[in-house]
Structure formats: C-alpha cells, structure tokens
Structure 1
Amino acid sequence: MGEIDPHSFTKGSEPAIDEMSLSLYLDFCKCIVEGWALVRLARPHTGPFSLDSRSLSIHSVVDSERQTPIPFSLSSSPDPIKGSLLSLSLCNQSSFLISYSTSPSSSALQWLLPPQTLNKSHPFVYTQCQAIHARSLFPSQDTPSRRFRFSAFLNIPSHLSAVMAARHVLRRPPHSRDPSSWSHPQHQHGRVVEEFVMDHPIPPYLFAFAVGQLGNRVVGPRTRVYSEDSPSLLDSAAAEFSGTEYLIREGEKLFGSYEWERFDLLVLPPSFPYGGMENPRMVFLTPTVIKGDATGAQVVAHELAHSWTGNLITNISNEHFWLNEGFTTYAERRIVEAVQGPHSASLNIGIGWRGLQQDLDRFKDHLEFTKLKNNQQGIHPDDVYSQVPYEKGFQFLWRIERQVGRPAFDEFLKKYIATFKFKSIDTQTFLDFLKANIPGIEKQIDLVLWTEGTGIPPDACEPDSSLYKNIVSLADDFINGRMPRDDEVADWQGQQWELYLDNLPKSIQPSQVIDLDSRYKLSESKDYEVKVSFLQRAISCGCKTYYNEVEKTLKGVGRMKYLRPLYTALVKDSGNEDGKVFAKRLYSEARECYHPIAQGVVEAIFAKHL
C-alpha cells in the first residue's frame, strides 16, 4: 500500500505508532526544542519505515531495547508541502529512540520575546500543529488517520510554567534519567520538568503545549481558564467563560458523555492565528473572544463541540475536513440554541451563510475547493482553509435534520459518535453509516451532489428567523441612504452588527460609511468581529479615513480571520497603489508578531495581488 494521505509520507503497509514518549528541552535563547522521541509501534516491522518531518535535524536513531543504531536517511530535497521524508531501516523492531532538534523556523512553534508578551518580563512559546505542522515539532506519522497515546516531559526554566493538552502528572527537578538532561548536564540548574500524559489516542495535530508566566482562575468543576499572569486579563476571561460548565452539560445531553475529563481554556497572546483550537483537555483561544458580554462563549461552544466531532471522531485526511468542521458547526449551534435560544442560533447560521458565499466567490476559479470531499493532492491545507467545510458541511447536516426530523437525527448522531469514537473515518464511511441507519435517505437527498458537487446545492437555505430577516432587510435599505434608527438597534450586540455589516451592498460610498460610523462608532468597537467587518467595508469602498484604525488592528492581533480580509481589501484593487504600499509597510513592521502560519497566509495574498 502507498501513501494514505496526500499530505503525509505515511504508508498503509507500515504499522501505526501506538505510543510516543517525548522529552523536550525548550531552549528560549536559540528558539529551538531539543527532543528525544521514544516511539512504540503497534507491531514489529521489518523494512523501510516512513515518518514526516519538516525543518528537523535528526541526530540519531537507536533501537531502544538493544541500544544499537538504526540506519536512517532524511530526504535532501524537501517536498514544499510534506517536508522531508525520514526513512528508517527496521529489522523486526517495534520501538526506537530518535534524537533530534527543531529549527527556529518551525511552523508549529511561535517563540515570543518578553517585549512581545503582555507583562513584557518573560518569554512565551506555544504550539499550533493543525493542519500538518506537528512534523516540525517531532518526527511523526503526521496524518489524522493515525492516532497515538503519549507522555511528554517538558524541560523548561523554573520561573516559567507549562500547560498541555494532556493530563498533568507533576512538576519536579530534572534528573539523570531524563533524556532532556543528557546533552545539558551543566545547564539543569534553574530548570524544572513538567510531566504530562495523554491516555486517549489522538491525531498528531491535537498535540499542544504552551510555556510562559501563567496564571489561572477556576470557572467550573471541570474548567480552569489560563493566560499570561495578569489579574485583569484572568478576571475578564473568567467572567466571559463563567458559563462553560453549562455548555458542557448541554453538550452531554445532545451527544453523550464528555470523554476527556477536563475542559480547560488557555487565552493566548494576540498573535494566535485562530479563534480557537480544540486541543483535548486544553482549548487554546485568542484574546479577541473576550468581549465583555459573554458572547465569546460561542467560540468556546465550537471548541467544546469538537470534543465529540473532531477529537473523538476525526477526518481521515484534510480532504474530508468537513467531517470535523461541518459536524462541529452543527453541534456548536445546537449547544448555542439550547443555552442562548433560537434567535442567537439563527444569527449564527446567517453569519455563516454569508461567510460561505464569500468563500465560494474566493474559490470561483478553483471550484474543487467548494466541494465537501475534495482533491488536495499537491495543495497545502493552509492555502485552502475556508468556511466551506464549516458552513457547507453544516448546511448538509441541517438538510438531513429537516428531512428526518430532529428527534430521529439526534438519535442518529448519538449512535454515530458511539460507533466511531477514537477512530478516523472518511466521507464514504459516514455516508454508508447514514444510509444504513436512515434507510432511503439517498432517495430523499442527493448525497453525491452535497458531498462531491461544487457550490451550494439548491436545497440549502438561510435561517427562517424574523430577527435575521429584519437585519438583512435593514442592510439592503442602506443603498437608499437609510441607516437603522436608534430604536431599531438599541438592543443589538456584536452578532447583530456583524450580520448587518456583512450584508451591506457592495456599492456604498465613503461618505455613507463615515456617516454610519459617526453615529454608531463601529470602528471603535471592542468586538473585533464588528470592527474588522466595518474596516473591510471602509477599505473596499476607497475610504482611507480609517487607515490608522486598520494599522492598529493589524499590529494588535494576529488572528487570520482578521488579517485575511483586511490585507486582501488593501491590495485587491489594482488601482489602489496607496493601499498596496500601506499594506506592505504594515506587514514588514508587524510580521514578527504574527504566527508562521499567519505569515504564510498574508504572503500568499501578496503573491496573488501584488
């Protein structure tokens, strides 16, 4: 059998990694990790054995039982997407120890100097391994089709602390049995080892840790919120996420028992490139979700939903990414509906509907990526990351729910999760299970059109909500110069304004944008969803009045959801030379505060439009 994933060198004929023990020495001065990976396979293997790596230096590979060297080779010409093939020559071996070190350019790690942190006194480092970045942190079968258990020993400076998407065991001084002390016996003073264990098998992209000066607050029986040690930030985060236990209980009612014991939250520095990352036991969050009105809980609901759909059941490769994100978007909205009511869920659906349309337009010349099941051979998953798997996937599941009714679909979902938990599956496996458990569904819904067709199928739909329709109608009226009255927006929160802005006509004048802002101060909103949506509209209509606010935003946050639309709006117009010059200057000044994944996204925008 050949490679099982277009983004990995892993071969189907080779045994899976069953367990890894990782000893990691974090060198903040060099911005590298020196690592020792003790790998245990599911069965002994003879012959070539393939591992994924990127920007790793491999020092040695040793049979962990016989203590004899194992021949290995690292491809000299890295694949631009998959990285370098690390090939071992095994002889009836089932365990081995790899000694290696990362590069400062590791795409899985962002090292922050003290001036780049909140307190500006201690360094900080965190990981982001999705989609295919774990291979730049440790050699691995870096495909979601392979799941493994692990233990991890993080050797760090003693004035810092570590958190991990795993069960914390203890914090102790280094000792001679630690591989991470072998190369640094003279440098162990002033350092500690934090031990963690992940008891459940996870795909490599869910491997995650962070190290810095951290504090925490208890917000529920299963939840602490962590961040840089700032009382004001921790208090704000604790208030924003105080209802987390309620979300977990609603999720359990809908989808079955929560399998991961803890659901802790880590608020990362502003450079974090995503809204949230669903790492089991320790969700990573951007600080932009702290809005002061508890609406940031919707992002938490999405990451919580991944505890069932994504972390328990995982897509077999990124070509089936909708199995993670479409299911999770559906599950998130069910939790939001249970907690905040149907109006809030309908606004969420409406914003998603608009986002889906925007990304379909983005891929109008690459329709393959408007399919749920798509071909990503030769494509980096970060380059085609979009709302399509989230929102089209949601629409597909919502369509099934409407066909069979919510009670029947809820029963199906629970059975689906119980059947495939701790497994990785593909689209066909899901469709086979669907047809077996809802007989005749393929005669009522065109399953092939939904999963393999381009664009939006005709039986998709917007939410049927009076609140949603009223906001869209108000946005449509803007073209006639009618702004919403104060009494019409008196109780609007960020979601309502975001939906309104997203539905404004394209052909609006700079003067209209300025009038809208002078009345409602949208450019000054503390809700980044609102602020960025407004600034994008202002740039797109040629209004340069807000360039200072754009600069503050692009230098203040590194979330790709904000970087992508603002940089694209600045450089997309071929006649806007001022915008292009402005964008290039901004990026040169802000680049080092962006995560490597975000840097790649911005540079791809420049490559396309400059």
Structure 2
Amino acid sequence: MAPVDPHSFTDSSHPFATHLSLSLYFDFASSTIQGSALLTLPIPHSGNIYLDTRSLSISSVVDPQTLAPLPFSLSPVPDPIKGQNLTISLSNHSSFLITFATSPSASALQWLSSQQTFNKTFPFVYTQCQSIHARSIFPCQDTPAARLCYSARLNVPQQLSAVMSARHVERRPPVSGEAAMACDNALWCAEGRMVEEFTMEQPIPPYLFAFAVGELGFRDVGPRTRVYAESVPAVLDGAAREFAGTEDMIRHGEKLFGPYEWERFDLLVLPPSFPYGGMENPRMVFLTPTVIKGDASGAQVVAHELAHSWTGNLISNKTNEHFWLNEGFTTYAERRIVEAVQGEEIAALNTGIGWRGLNEEMDRFKDNMEFTKLKTKQEGVDPDDVYSQVPYEKGFQFIWRIERQIGRPAFDEFLKKYIATFKFQSIDTETFLNFLKVNIPGIEKEIDLVLWTEGTGIPPDAFEPVSNTYSKIFSLAKEFIHGRMPREDEVSDWHGQEWELYLENLPKSVEASQVAALDARYRLAESKNYEVKVAFLKLAISSGCREYFGEVEKTLKEVGRMLYLRPLYTALVQGSGKEEAKILAKRVFGEAQECYHPIARGVVESILLKHL
C-alpha cells in the first residue's frame, strides 16, 4: 500500500472509479453548491477507499441500491496541500453515493458578482481544477492517474445557462425525485430553475472537469467550433473574428497527430479574472479575454489548447511530477500547428519568446534547482507554487532535440505512434523513455536522456531559435543600451510578438529616461496587447520609472491572468530601495484581491510574503 501521487490520498491498492454521476444545485446567494456524487468502481471492493476533499462538507455516504448508510470519516486536520482524506468503508460495494456541499472559499471556483462581469447584470461562476482543485468541488481520486467518465445535472437559475467540458444533452425544467439526494426536492424543483444535463463518455483525469454558469451567448465559427462568452456583442464578435481560423488549425492538427477524438472544440471566453491564458478542458476550452487582440495572434493560445487534445488530454501525465509530458509535448505540437498555419517565421518568434522565458526561469529557481528539472520531486510541494515555464519550454527543447536528431519525417511517425499507443492513458517519464528507446533504437547513445529529464538547468545541446526576424529583433535590442531606439521603418510591420520579444531582450539596467523615450515614440504602455504592455511595464518598474505606477495599478486591477500578475508584482517587490513600489504592491493587492481567482490570489500572496 502506497500513495499513487504525492498530491493525493488515493492508495495504489484501491481501484480507481470509472464513472461519476453528479447532481449540482447552484446557490449564488451563498456562493455554494449542494451536490451528490455517485461513484462507480470497476469491480466490487471491500475495505477502506480514500478520496480527496478540500473545504467540503460531507452530509452522508450511502449504498445507492438500499440507501443504507456507509461508515465514513474525514481526517480531522486538513493537510495544507492535499486537504482532507475522506475514508469510506465498503463491503463488496461497486458504487457509493456521497452528498456534500462546497465552501464559498472553494479553491476551484470563482463566484463573480454581477458587477465583476462584462454585462454587469447577472452573476457568474466558473471552475479551474488544474492542478489539484477538483477536490474542492466534489470528493474524488484527484490525481491524473485516475481517469473516469461522467454525467452531470446542473440546477441553475433560469436566467442563466451552463456549459461543461462534456456533451450537452438537454436543458429542461427540474423533475421531482431526480436530485439524487443533492438537496431536498422542494429546493431542487423550486420555480425559476432549469436543469442542464451533460455527459462525458471518454475517460478524463479530474483536473479536466470544468463548467461555467452565467448569462452566455455564442457565435458559430466552424463546423466543430462555437465561441461562447457573456452576452456582450463586442466580446462575442471580437472573439469570433479572433478565432475564425480554428477549423483550419484542427485540420492541420489531425494531419500531424492523428484523428481529433473529442467531436467538438468549443471555446469559452471568461471574465478577466480567469488566471490562465487558456485551459484545455476537452470539448470546451476556457480562455482569458486578453487573448482577443484584434489581429488573430490570440489564436496561438488556441493552438496550444487545441494541441492538448492530443498531448495532455488523450495522454496525460500520471502525476504532476511528470507535468512536462503534458506541456512540453503540447508546446512542441502548438508550434508545429502555428508553423503550418502562420508560417516558419511566426513559429520561430514563438520559440524565441519561449527561450527567453526559459532562461528567466533558471534565474527564478536559482536557489532551488530541483524545479529546473523535467522530472521533479514534489512531495510536500504545492504544484501551484512551482508552476513555471520549465515544463513547457525545457520540455519543448527536449522534444525538439529528438526531432533534430532523427529528422522531422521519422519523428512525425514516432509521434503518431506514441499518441495512438497511449491514448486515454496517464503515463510517467519512464514509460515515455522506454517507448522512445524501443522505437528509436540507440537514441540514448545520441542524446543524454537522463541529463535532459533529471538534470538541472538547460542542457548544452538545447537550441536557441534562428530566423531572420528573430536575429534582427535581438540585434536591435542590444543596441538600445547605447541609446539607439528602433526606427519606425524597422518596426512598421511588427505585431505583438515582435514587440514582446524586443522588450524581453532589452538590458535590465537601462535609464528611466530611455524607457520614457521609447514609450513616447511607440506608446507601449497603452498597448491593447497585454503581453507587450506587461513587458514594458516590467521594464519601467525595474528602471525606476515611477510615472508608470498608475498604469501598473490599472493593469493589476483589470486582469487576473497570472502571466501578468506574477511578473508585475515580483518586479514591484524585488530589490532594495524600492519602498514606494513595495507599498504600491501591497495596497493594490489589498484592493484587487477579491477580483482574483483563488489560485491567482494564492500566488500573489506567496510573492508578497517572500519579499515584504
């Protein structure tokens, strides 16, 4: 007997549930969900079974056939990372029914008041279950090693609608007796409510469970893609234009990686508090509104989430210690799709930005190089605290190194075989390496596989991208230290990626007057592209340009994406002699934190705790 995963109470001797049937009643007044979860095992089991929970109130556990109570207990002291262990005693049972209620502080849920939404009319709630937050919505074996199918009934106010990472079955009035003990029938069947029913027939890990409830509209942008957002025409129309090329990307993905197994690829643009650029929930990708840039460049985030349909959703990392198997492969697959759709130069810029980010992560983890490895040890470590670009960009570099060694045609055949072999499975690094060595004999003699997966830092055979555009931008950035800004004719065809790469490669120690002059000419602090704006504001903070503190504050209050929060708060609080910046960071967080998702709030709190 041993834990399956350092982040889960799930025991290796216990069977994994194969199906989950959920009934969820949404109470916006209390920011809670009352629910029931019917878990089905592949075989009858006798003895204890362990489930992960966080901040859940458990009302009962019963045999679903007889409704006889089953003994259960919650560990009295919550683990700061894993939460509480729900122990249920079974006697030759193949299923059990749990009734529960979530907490207003559930880490996977963000409840938004009407004033925190685009339309300012109705409230909104959405999930973010990666990495280990599904346990705050329902009791489960919350490890990617455990894949299960599910069905769900969501009881919501009739003015609102729901979407899920699952196939929509129907929307209908509630039916008496169907609540499955989620709550009493009077509550379930109250007037003014509707039930949205969904089913997910492919087995997924719990972190891919997702829903959103609000006043939603949609636009069709392709035969397999519908864009959802709040019913605000400007948001919906902007998203439809930005993602008009999605079907083309899906077709290129199928040519590269094999059949698209999830039937639909719908997109949901969430309110600004969503903490990530995108989340690859199958059938229903969640996106930040900051990817709507107006020039279709936001489609690169969609390309990444689409690539997860093969590398991450079809094949998942077994635990978070092997997270690179999801993100390294997906970053490689994303850039192959971008190359096919937008060209080699754009893909090279994408790679260049990633290379810069990888080098910055080496500095971030200089005091704990364990997290510069691909295969990490995370016992006692919250995966949110060590989330970084390392699994993405070092993982990409490893996959790219293999491609360069054997050639693209051979690697493409290998990749298709890898996906076909392990689809709908969760694997670890050793499984991948064994498959690699069997299918590419002698590869371990050409590439130091142990150094790449278990070594710290960036291996010497990693490769900085080479392209004419990348080289030009890099040269222009080096000249800035001597006071030469790029001429307007040199940047006339630049878009967000080019400016981002330029700003990220500028020297860190530049004069405040140079930063102000650059902005006076190109208005970077006012950019509608947040990657450009944040890169510039980070430079302004490090150069001591206090006149940009107002724009920094505005940015930190209008978006909740961690890609922007982490570098801006870090820039404000790092270093000595920056008391004014530190005071600003503390004040702004105090005023803005209620608008941040709980995951993002925790990340910022850890940054402030470390430096203040």
2:117 maps to a residue whose letter is T
What are the equivalent positions in structure 2 for 1:250-265 lying under 5 Å apart?
250-265=252-267
Q: Note the alpha carbon deviations across 1:347-373, whole angstroms, 9 max, x for none.
A: 000000000011111000010000000
Paired residue for 1:4? Answer: 4
Does 1:226 find its partner at 2:228? yes
Paired residue for 1:147? Answer: 147
Paired residue for 1:376? Answer: 378
Paired residue for 2:468? Answer: 466
Contact residue 26 and residue 33 of structure 1 kept, 8 A: yes
1:562 maps to a residue whose letter is Y
C-alpha distance in 2 between matches for 1:96 and 1:445: 49
- The SS at the match of 1:110 is strand
Contact residue 313 and residue 420 of structure 1 kept, 8 A: yes
Contact residue 155 and residue 196 of structure 2 kept, 8 A: yes
C-alpha distance in 2 between matches for 1:322 and 1:282: 22
C-alpha distance in 1 between matches for 2:290 and 2:554: 14
What are the equivalent positions in structure 2 for 1:210-359 lying under 5 Å apart?
210-359=212-361
Measured after TM superposition, the shift of residue 177 of structure 1 is 2.6
After superposing the two structures, state which structure 1 stretch, 410-419 or 543-552, moved more. 543-552
1:50 maps to a residue whose letter is Y
- The SS at the match of 1:295 is coil
Measured after TM superposition, the shift of residue 516 of structure 1 is 0.2
- The SS at the match of 1:486 is coil
Measured after TM superposition, the shift of residue 182 of structure 1 is 4.1
- The SS at the match of 1:352 is helix
Q: Note the alpha carbon deviations across 1:156-207, whole angstroms, 9 max, x for none.
A: 0001000000000000111113226742515610000000000000000000
C-alpha distance in 1 between matches for 2:361 and 2:185: 50
- The SS at the match of 2:263 is coil
- The SS at the match of 1:198 is strand
1:520 aligned to 519, 522, 526, which one?
Answer: 522
C-alpha distance in 2 between matches for 1:291 and 1:118: 17
C-alpha distance in 2 between matches for 1:72 and 1:595: 32
1:111 maps to a residue whose letter is W
Stretches of structure 2 lacking an aligned partner (at least 5 in a row): none
Contact residue 179 and residue 185 of structure 2 kept, 8 A: no
Measured after TM superposition, the shift of residue 260 of structure 1 is 0.2
C-alpha distance in 2 between matches for 1:547 and 1:83: 38
C-alpha distance in 2 between matches for 1:558 and 1:456: 30
Measured after TM superposition, the shift of residue 43 of structure 1 is 1.1
Paired residue for 1:404? Answer: 406
C-alpha distance in 2 between matches for 1:156 and 1:321: 35
C-alpha distance in 2 between matches for 1:490 and 1:173: 56
Paired residue for 1:101? Answer: 101
Q: Note the alpha carbon deviations across 1:391-411, whole angstroms, 9 max, x for none.
A: 000000000000000000000
Paired residue for 2:432? Answer: 430
C-alpha distance in 1 between matches for 2:473 and 2:566: 25
Q: Note the alpha carbon deviations across 1:508-556, whole angstroms, 9 max, x for none.
A: 0100000000000000000000000000000011111101111110000
After superposing the two structures, state which structure 1 stretch, 176-185 or 486-495, moved more. 176-185
C-alpha distance in 2 between matches for 1:573 and 1:444: 43
Contact residue 556 and residue 588 of structure 2 kept, 8 A: yes
The alignment of Structure 1 onto Structure 2 pairs a total of residues equal to: 610
Does 1:530 find its partner at 2:532? yes
After superposing the two structures, state which structure 1 stretch, 187-196 or 218-227, moved more. 187-196
Q: Note the alpha carbon deviations across 1:257-276, whole angstroms, 9 max, x for none.
A: 00000000000000000000
C-alpha distance in 2 between matches for 1:179 and 1:70: 20
1:159 maps to a residue whose letter is Q
Q: Note the alpha carbon deviations across 1:11-54, whole angstroms, 9 max, x for none.
A: 11000101000000010000001010011011111111000000
C-alpha distance in 1 between matches for 2:185 and 2:487: 67
C-alpha distance in 1 between matches for 2:506 and 2:321: 33
C-alpha distance in 1 between matches for 2:89 and 2:111: 34
1:128 maps to a residue whose letter is Q
Contact residue 34 and residue 183 of structure 2 kept, 8 A: no
After superposing the two structures, state which structure 1 stretch, 247-256 or 461-470, moved more. 461-470
Paired residue for 1:510? Answer: 512
Paired residue for 2:174? Answer: 174
Q: Note the alpha carbon deviations across 1:300-329, whole angstroms, 9 max, x for none.
A: 000000000000000000000000000000
- The SS at the match of 1:17 is coil
Measured after TM superposition, the shift of residue 232 of structure 1 is 1.1
What are the equivalent positions in structure 2 for 1:115-134 lying under 5 Å apart?
115-134=115-134
1:185 maps to a residue whose letter is A
- The SS at the match of 2:341 is helix
Report the RMSD for the aligned CA atoms in angstroms.
Answer: 0.7
2:320 maps to a residue whose letter is N
C-alpha distance in 1 between matches for 2:486 and 2:119: 42
C-alpha distance in 2 between matches for 1:46 and 1:535: 59
Paired residue for 1:137? Answer: 137
Q: Note the alpha carbon deviations across 1:252-298, whole angstroms, 9 max, x for none.
A: 00000000000000000000000000000000000000000000000
TM-score between the two structures when normalised by the length of structure 2 = 0.99
C-alpha distance in 1 between matches for 2:42 and 2:571: 50
2:190 maps to a residue whose letter is Q
C-alpha distance in 2 between matches for 1:567 and 1:37: 39
What are the equivalent positions in structure 2 for 1:414-563 lying under 5 Å apart?
414-563=416-565
Contact residue 53 and residue 138 of structure 1 kept, 8 A: yes
Contact residue 75 and residue 86 of structure 1 kept, 8 A: yes
Contact residue 176 and residue 185 of structure 2 kept, 8 A: no
Paired residue for 2:37? Answer: 37
- The SS at the match of 2:568 is helix
C-alpha distance in 2 between matches for 1:188 and 1:350: 56
Measured after TM superposition, the shift of residue 434 of structure 1 is 0.2
C-alpha distance in 1 between matches for 2:164 and 2:527: 33
Does 1:185 find its partner at 2:186? yes
Paired residue for 1:389? Answer: 391
Paired residue for 2:80? Answer: 80
C-alpha distance in 1 between matches for 2:73 and 2:555: 45
After superposing the two structures, state which structure 1 stretch, 566-575 or 379-388, moved more. 566-575
- The SS at the match of 1:48 is strand
Paired residue for 2:580? Answer: 578
Q: For the structure 1 residues 50 and 441, does the alpha-carbon distance in structure 2 shift closer, same or farther, using more than 3 Å as the test?
A: same
C-alpha distance in 1 between matches for 2:178 and 2:354: 48
2:605 maps to a residue whose letter is E
C-alpha distance in 2 between matches for 1:492 and 1:184: 60
After superposing the two structures, state which structure 1 stretch, 350-359 or 169-178, moved more. 169-178
1:62 maps to a residue whose letter is V
Q: Note the alpha carbon deviations across 1:46-94, whole angstroms, 9 max, x for none.
A: 1110000000000000011222100000011000000000000111101
Contact residue 176 and residue 182 of structure 1 kept, 8 A: no
C-alpha distance in 2 between matches for 1:369 and 1:66: 49
Paired residue for 1:602? Answer: 604
C-alpha distance in 2 between matches for 1:42 and 1:82: 25
Runs of 4+ in 1 over 3 A off after TM superposition: none
Contact residue 157 and residue 193 of structure 2 kept, 8 A: yes
Question: Percent of counterpart pairs with the same letter?
Answer: 71
Paired residue for 1:16? Answer: 16
C-alpha distance in 1 between matches for 2:214 and 2:183: 24
Q: For the structure 1 residues 563 and 600, does the alpha-carbon distance in structure 2 shift closer, same or farther, using more than 3 Å as the test?
A: same
TM-score between the two structures when normalised by the length of structure 1 = 0.99
Paired residue for 2:366? Answer: 364
2:456 maps to a residue whose letter is T
